[in-house]
Amino acid sequence: MTDAPKSSLKGLNHEAVTRLAGALGSDRDETAPWWHSLLEEIRSSADPVAVLNRLESIAQAAADAGGVKSSSTADTDSPGGGGERLRLSTIFETNPICIKALVAVTAASGSIALHLKTSPDDVALLATPGALPPSDPEQALERALASIHGDPVTALRMHKRREYIRIAAADLLGIPDVAEVGASLAALADACLQCASKFATDELDLNDAPTAIIAMGKLGGQELNYASDIDVIFVSNGNEDLARRHAERVIAIIGGSTPAETIFRIDVDLRPEGRAGALTRSIESFKAYWEKWAQTWEFQALLKARPAAGDLDLGGRFVEAAQPFIWPERLDPEAIRSIRAMKARTERELVKKGTSEREVKRGPGGIRDVEFAVQLLQLVHGRADPTLRDRSTLGALEALAVGGYVDTSDASALRNAYKFLRTVEHRLQIRDERQVYALPTNPTELEVLAKTLGIRGRADISAIDIFEKAYRDNGAVVRSIHERLFFRPLLEAFGAASADDGANISEEAADERLAAFGFSDIRRARAGLAELTRGLSRASRLMQQLLPLMLEWLSESPNPDLGLTELRNLVDAVGDQANLVTTFRENPTAAQHLCTVLGTSRVLAGILTREPEALGAYEDEAKGPQAIVKEARSFTSWRSDPAEQFEAIKRFHRREFLRIGTRDIIFGAPVSEIGSELAALGDSVLEVALESAIEEIPGPEMRFAIVAMGSYGGQEMNYSSDLDVIFVFDGGSPERALAVAARLFENFQGVASQGVAFKLDAALRPEGKSGPIARSLDSTQLYYQKWAETWEFQALTKARHGAGDPSLTAALLESIEPLVWPDPFPTERIREIRMMKARMERERIPAGEDAEFHLKLGPGGLTDVEFAVQLTALRNSGRDPELRRGNTLDALAALEAAEVFDRGTATRLREGYEFCTRVRNRLFLIKGRQLDSLPKDPRESAQLAESLGWQESPRSALRTEYKKYTRRARAAFEEVFYSD
């Protein structure tokens, strides 16, 4: 038998071929055509080595069993039925198609090969592989019931296995398309569920099933995979006890207690409340849940809901009851935002795992992108157009194309890409019947995958390279779906682009899309789109190409209306629009960041409009104080006129403020870095402004220093913080020192009036507003030695050098250090600080602000943490000078390191402080003015929460987080602030 033509043996292991020949029986003519055909099929298969080994095992098992039942008997599912047993070689000789089917199956699936080894009679199933099991559920059920002999559950398990092999064989031979395969697998699952329901009904001695079994997910969409779980929910007829027992028995029959007993893996977690919820519910109970507690994703899941088994009439009533919840009269934009956020979070998790690019299902350009896009369009337009309410992805895509919601060429390209990706997914999962979604990294495994898809290499290119190019190309088509399916038709509907470029949707449908994606002022959005794309210039044409993608990014921002308005303002402010649009096209990441900033912050958008040349300068690296001062000097050093110098200072401030704010919004920079960078910006602006003022005002030589105080001194500024300062001089004349200080105030007052946040504040100086604006070193030291009060010493815990002569600042701080940090710390001061804090809690929350959610003065807010840390540091700094730190978080870390605070106390205070600071900072960037309470307006509150990363139920999530962090911080505050 091994004397086959050499061409058949090329590339095959001769010893393996000899073993296969022996297993098949060596009494056959070695020149038989079927043997030649078998070797040719093996040689050209996806995995010749695996096929040889697997076929040898199957042939040996068949020989040990005395042959294989002929197809006439094996095609019935009756175990042990009569019929002639034939050699495997005889079947190959009489049914050549069986060779192709068996080789294809054993090349693609180790699990099916193992089954055929243990049940060699089932090889006869492959004698007619073109007979694909029915995709119609009723026909599938009839076929399943006809197979039940003996123990019903065992028979059902064997029936499922045999139908599965028939489907796989037809699929691997390329007879059905991927949609037919999914439908056949789903029909098989339906039939198994209905049989299980019948068995359970009979066991409970009932006439009718007490539940409806609702197919969900891929089962509901009739697009099942080879290794899919079947997602179901159970609806009761009102008798909850019987329904629960019936459902539990169905689950036991289908799921089994061991992998060997499993018919399908069954998942019931899509029911209300998931695993914590009741297994069965009545329709009324479902409706009550949907009305009060259901989340957006649960309604999205109901798109696929379909009666599959049990009481089908009851299932139909359930689906009918769900329709108003799936298709509400008004679609809440937050629902769409929530769905998109959930998908984005999944993609971020894949990126973290490093599997994003090779994930067929959830990676960029993967299956989920198609399903997600189609379902979103269904949710937006299916409310008014029932023809779109198709459960299957391909069926819904076709309906969207027929209805004009998706361009036919885009739908065709997307359909082809989806079929390709689903076929890849099928091949990945059929290998071992596991839920695998990532492409293999092993080259050998990847080549086998490619070949099971029918791909073969050529002299100039390998099968792997052909596959990977096809995978990339299809992924690229899919990844562009948002632009093509959602936003380009908006421009066409409003007359801003040629209708030849996409779907010709109506203005009403376009309005629905804008509303669904978060735009509130539809008329203004229309005008904005028309304005941005008007004209025939190159810039207008480029903007028409780019705007759909930018609309997507704007729709993902907290305030799309604001973003679109500010984009228009920016375009108007830029002289050369063509260069601007080219920048967007060549740097899409910068364009996406820009859309995020414009749709978040009025403040930063305003700066961008004034400083458009700063576009694209987005950095995720903090700058050190010395670098910032150096840059500030470079802005002013070549200018001699004081007015020009200060104009340069203003521009420098705006650019740095923009840089810091964008780091915050885009990259989520830590609050500690934001505070220190703002303080460094204050240092640099004061440094160059002071140098200019001293040069401008002549007089006797003197040393002049600016002592940083408050949040500026502590290097924990927020965006609206004043620059709290004390002016000190030594030598020269008081008149010149006062004039220099006055000029600084004059200049900074002018800066603040033009919208720049920094404002000088010298109210913390000795004697406050009653004292001279600048004092000599001696006078300042004398004041603190004789007249300063406790609150002034507490304020001095944050004092540091800000600008000017550092030696002068050092002399002052060194002389008063024993006064600020006395050892031991006086009991009277402790009492006064506690009284001061109690007075603040009683009096300082302004009327009209929400005391319950006050970030600064509310219980557990910023002031609580600052007082707890300051007082504790003051009381313990005598024995540990390392505790003498002006920055709250630094001091907190030092207290934890010194074991004054335990880890739990330090963590509660730190987390509360960082949370409140982060929210307070974002409030300023959004509103352009400092607000210290969470917004009461639901929309404003939601926008704030979304900008901080809470996408699902954002307003309630933000308030829940506020309460969590502030309650913990308040408990820690009370524990340490009032301790003896």
Cα-flanking dihedrals φ and ψ of residue 744, to 5°? Answer: -60, -45
Q: Count of alpha carbons within 13 Å of 469, Cβ hemisphere only? A: 8
Please count the other Cβ atoms lying within 10 Å of the Cβ belonging to residue 7. Answer: 11
| pLDDT for residue 503 | 54
Rounded to the nearest 10°, the torsion over CA 230, 235, 241, 247 is -20
Q: Where are the beta strands (DSSP E) in 207-321?
A: 211-216, 230-236, 266-267, 280-281, 306-310
> Residues 6 or more apart from 666 whose CB is under 8 A from it?
593, 596, 597, 618, 620
Q: List own/partner pairs for 744-749 with CB under 8 A and 24 or more apart.
A: 744/686, 744/689, 744/690, 744/693, 745/773, 747/646, 747/689, 747/693, 748/689, 748/723
Q: 225, 182 in Cβ contact below 8 A?
A: yes
Q: Is the sign of the CA dihedral 679, 794, 748, 918 positive or negative?
A: positive
DSSP 387: G
Distance CA 889, CA 200 (A): 63
Burial of 814 (0-12, 13-18, 19+ CB in 10 A): exposed
Q: 477, 297 in Cβ contact below 8 A?
A: no
- For residue 824, whether the previous peptide bond is cis, meaning omega lies within 30 degrees of 0, is yes
The two structure tokens encoding residue 307: 């009666």
Question: What distance lies between CA 327 and its chain's CA centroid?
Answer: 25
| pLDDT for residue 498 | 43
Name the nearest CA neighbour of 128 among 176, 155, 166.
Answer: 166
Q: What secondary structure does DSSP assign to 942-955, as a single string?
A: HHHHHHTT--SSHH
Query: Most distant CA pair in the chain: distance in Å?
Result: 121
Distance CA 8, CA 44 (A): 10
Please count the other Cβ atoms lying within 10 Å of the Cβ belonging to residue 907. Answer: 16
Name the nearest CA neighbour of 692 among 653, 733, 738, 641.
Answer: 641
> Residues 6 or more apart from 768 whose CB is under 8 A from it?
none
> Residues 6 or more apart from 526 whose CB is under 8 A from it?
494, 514
Name the nearest CA neighbour of 718 among 671, 683, 666.
Answer: 671
Q: To 5 degrees, how large is the angle CA 410–CA 415–CA 419?
A: 150
Distance CA 270, CA 232 (A): 7
Name the nearest CA neighbour of 699 among 743, 759, 665.
Answer: 743
Low-confidence ranges of the chain (pLDDT < 50): 1, 5, 27, 72-81, 495-502, 752-756
Q: Tokens 């700063």, residue?
A: 614
Computed over its alpha carbons, how large is the radius of gyration of the chain? 37
Question: What distance lies between CA 470 and its chain's CA centroid?
Answer: 27
732-743 burial code (b ≥16 CB/10 A, e <16): beeebbbbbbeb
Q: Tokens 């919208």, residue?
A: 755
Q: 912, 865 in Cβ contact below 8 A?
A: yes
> Residues 6 or more apart from 488 whose CB is under 8 A from it?
497, 501, 502, 503, 548
* Amino acid residing at 336: I
Q: What secondary structure does DSSP assign to 638-658, as a single string?
A: T--SHHHHHHHHHHHHHHHHH
Q: 614, 608 in Cβ contact below 8 A?
A: yes
What CA–CA distances, in Å, run from 220 to 137, 185, 215? Answer: 12, 11, 4
What CA–CA distances, in Å, run from 97 to 114, 129, 463? Answer: 21, 8, 25
| pLDDT for residue 295 | 87
Distance CA 345, CA 351 (A): 10
Please count the other Cβ atoms lying within 10 Å of the Cβ belonging to residue 443. Answer: 10
3-state secondary structure of 576: coil
Q: 868, 892 in Cβ contact below 8 A?
A: no
How far is the first Cα of the chain from the last one, in angstroms, to the nearest whole number? 97
The two structure tokens encoding residue 271: 């029911």
Distance CA 743, CA 737 (A): 10
* All domains of the chain in start order, with CATH: 1-129 (no CATH), 177-326 (3.30.460.10), 331-479 (1.20.120.330), 625-820 (3.30.460.10), 828-977 (1.20.120.330)
Cα-flanking dihedrals φ and ψ of residue 723, to 5°? Answer: -90, 95
Numbers of helices and strands, H then E, in the chain: 45, 12
Name the nearest CA neighbour of 68 among 138, 120, 18, 21.
Answer: 120
Length of the chain: 980
Q: What secondary structure does DSSP assign to 118-178, as a single string?
A: H-GGGGGGGGSTT-PPPSSHHHHHHHHHHT--SSHHHHHHHHHHHHHHHHHHHHHTT-S-H
What CA–CA distances, in Å, run from 854 to 71, 212, 542? Answer: 79, 51, 47
| pLDDT for residue 501 | 43
Distance CA 364, CA 352 (A): 14
